[in-house]
Amino acid sequence: MSEAPNILFVVVDELTADILPTYGHKVVKAPNLTRLAERSVVFDAAYANSPICCPSRASMMSGRLAPAIEAWDNSTPLGCDVPCIPHFLGNLGYDTTLVGKMHFIGPDQLHGYENRLTTDIYPSDFSWTANAKMPRTAPNIAGVSMRPILDAGPCKRNLQIDYDEEVQLLAEQYIWDKARDRKDKRPFFLTVSYTHPHPPFDAPQPYWDMYEDAEIDLPRVGPIDPDRMDPLSLQLYYNHRRHEMPVAEENVIAARRAYYGMVTWIDERIGRLLDTLEDAGFGDDTVIVFTSDHGEMLGERGMWFKMCMFEYAERVPLFVSWPERFAPRRIRQNVSLVDLLPTFIDFARGKHEEPLPCEETLDGRSLLRFLQSGADANWPDLVISDFNAGGSPAPVRMVKEGAWKLIRIGTLANLLFNIEEDPEELRDRSADKDAEDILARLLSLSEHGGYDPDVIAQRVLLSQERRRLIHTATKARRAPVSWNWKVRPDDDVRFVRGGGPVYGEDPTKARARLPLASYIPEEAEITG
């Protein structure tokens, strides 16, 4: 590549690939993303490197697998000494700007970005630190429960609409400002990161009205009894309070209907963003990359949210559009979000640059050959994903090579599926004689990076203990330490800034909903 293009990196939150028309869904309306996909290289088997926000984003930004950077849960800091996408691109002459969510934890809220135009929607401190020593029936530390499914429906306004409207305004303004800046001629790397369609399942009324209950498809796999669940699914069953908050079919339909409306709502904003890019004169010399940090189970197997290794939680959309250079096509091989950093480096450095410092430490590989020709003879067709947050009974690692997928749950269980033959992941092949060699190979591949679940478990426990001690000490101060990025003076209190059943994610969003949610916990309800 001879000239460094601008890069527009669009990230949404908790969008599973399966429900987009581009991947075959017949109900969801997403015309702008469909239009983008039609002029993109579309990856059919793109995966998150962790099925939860903070570790997934840390892996994506650093090009490293989660254990390599100790990205365990939604309250683990990304080290300020870990090179990230903006560090590499900044060294290659880019103006790097972040608008929206990135879920950085700790005092470094930039990680190489030259500018950050909004606060984050979630807390930057250690308030969501998991505790592996708690019993499996303990509530989720972030305050997550089945309440968003039970309260699903239309709304006029909520916290996520507030946030994404702000992201939209500032992203479009950045593009207009860049177009008329006569002094700074650097190419830009603009990250626009929305929080939709993350739960709660509240669709703005007009977008709710676009769908009818009768057309909402039910999950392809119904609820699975607890006595038939694998160890991870069983622990999540309790962690998400499913044993206390049963979900009826009408709740499932309402939640999925709201989710579809939220997807259409964010699709419309992305369409406006792409139109602004074109109107400002950047259409021909800008690579557009679109993805999500992980998926959403949407009631499949009776499960919601993410935190597991099944396809709905792990497989994400990935489009790369630059019609001036890359012909639209589909790519079937397995890729993952750690592959984005080396790909961005290849976009930025041209043909003749030497390898950058630390580039050889990356776990990802550049997608450039796929983009240019549709093939890469040396591609390993392998992805790895990790989960070590609350709700995990042991370190969990997924390995997918070709059609075969291993879910390794510490020493508790190995699950083996052939995704082409069994896309619903209902037939565990781990005990099949004719799959012994496949299982042995994937177990061997799971040891990448010296992976040992017993060692990982000890590292996770030690990290949790350190963070809980620090968080307890800072809470006791009259002026607690706050690392939330502040643009507006009240950014340290406007969005989700705590954990638990009162100040955590679900209750904070419930209080910000209009009309108000049916259940809003009060401080007196804290029992421990």
| Model confidence pLDDT, tens digit, residues 174-206 | 999 999 998 988 999 999 999 999 999 999 999
Q: Is the dihedral of CA 433, 438, 440, 443 positive or negative?
A: negative
- The answer to whether residue 336 sits within a structural domain is yes
| Model confidence pLDDT, tens digit, residues 466-525 | 999 999 998 888 777 789 999 999 998 899 998 877 788 888 888 889 987 666 665 444
pLDDT of 32 reads 98
- Region 366-373: mean pLDDT is 97
Q: Among the options 53, 54, 84, 155, which is catalytic?
A: 53
What share of residues in the chain are helix, strand, coil (percent, to 5)? 35, 15, 50
| Model confidence pLDDT, tens digit, residues 307-319 | 999 999 999 999 9
Residue 375 phi, psi dihedral angles, 5° rounding: -145, 150
- The answer to whether residue 335 sits within a structural domain is yes
pLDDT band per the 50, 70, 90 thresholds, residue 458: very high
pLDDT of 516 reads 72
Please provide the average confidence, as pLDDT, over all residues in the chain: 94
- Of 15, 132, 120, the closest CA to residue 72 belongs to 132
Spatial distance between the Cα atoms of 300 and 218, rounded to a whole number of angstroms: 9
103 as an active site residue: the answer is yes
- The answer to whether residue 1 sits within a structural domain is no
Residue that is written with structure tokens 């999540």 in the block: 236
Give strand pairing partners of 98. Answer: 116, 191
- The answer to whether residue 356 sits within a structural domain is yes
The H or E element containing residue 159 is helix 159-179
Q: Is the dihedral of CA 75, 80, 81, 82 positive or negative?
A: positive
- The answer to whether residue 166 sits within a structural domain is yes
pLDDT of 501 reads 77
- The answer to whether residue 233 sits within a structural domain is yes
* Burial of 180 (C-beta count, 10 Å sphere; 0-12/13-18/19+): exposed
- The answer to whether residue 491 sits within a structural domain is yes
Q: Per the structure, how many domains does the chain have?
A: 1
- The answer to whether residue 230 sits within a structural domain is yes
Question: 107 is in which domain, residue-wise?
Answer: 6-525
Q: Domain with 100 in it: what CATH number? A: 3.40.720.10
Q: Determine contact, residues 510/517, Cβ cutoff 8 Å.
A: yes
pLDDT of 507 reads 83
b/e map of 322-335 (b: 16 or more CB within 10 Å)? beeebeeeebebbb
Q: Among the options 54, 87, 103, 240, which is catalytic?
A: 103
| Model confidence pLDDT, tens digit, residues 126-138 | 999 988 888 877 7
* Burial of 214 (C-beta count, 10 Å sphere; 0-12/13-18/19+): exposed
pLDDT of 526 reads 35
Q: Determine contact, residues 94/4, Cβ cutoff 8 Å.
A: yes
